[in-house]
Amino acid sequence: MPEPGQLRMMVDQLDRPSHWQRQGWDDLRAGLQGRGNTPERCLANCVASLVKALERGAVDIDLTADVQPGSNGMPVEPDLVRVWRAVAASLENEAIILYQAQQNAAAQVEARNSMTPVG
């Protein structure tokens, strides 16, 4: 069992968009390198992590913006780098679509509830 201070730090980390963006990168890397779960599970986890980052206020979820070829697991070969960036962009777009759908659904519920007579 973690100490109270450690638990507070863990909870604080989970509230930060950067934590979920790093988790998304780790999932992308694992999926494209064929490590861990099946690639499709890793990529689905990546989308889920990016949605969590957006929910916590992330403005930019670009997974490959700060990653140079040959670092942090990204390949060096230009054609493979292009594939990694294309897959990352697709997952980022999917996360944005899911997040926007969540927001729209929540707004519709709130609108319906606001029109319900009180009393």
CA distance 45 to 20: 10
Across the chain, what does the average pLDDT equal?
A: 88
pLDDT tens-digit series, residues 14-54: 778 999 999 999 999 999 999 888 999 999 999 999 999 99
More confident residue, 62 or 111: 62
More confident residue, 115 or 90: 90
Q: Name the token pair of 59.
A: 């403005």
* Structural domains counted in the chain: 1
Q: What is the pLDDT of residue 89?
A: 96
- Give me the domain span that covers residue 49: 4-115
Q: What is the pLDDT of residue 63?
A: 92
To the nearest whole percent, how much of the chain has pLDDT over 70? 89
Mean pLDDT confidence for 3-19: 72
- Per-residue pLDDT at 2 exceeds 70: no
CA distance 95 to 61: 9
Q: What is the pLDDT of residue 83?
A: 96
51 CB contacts (<8 Å, ≥6 apart)?
Answer: 95, 98, 99, 102
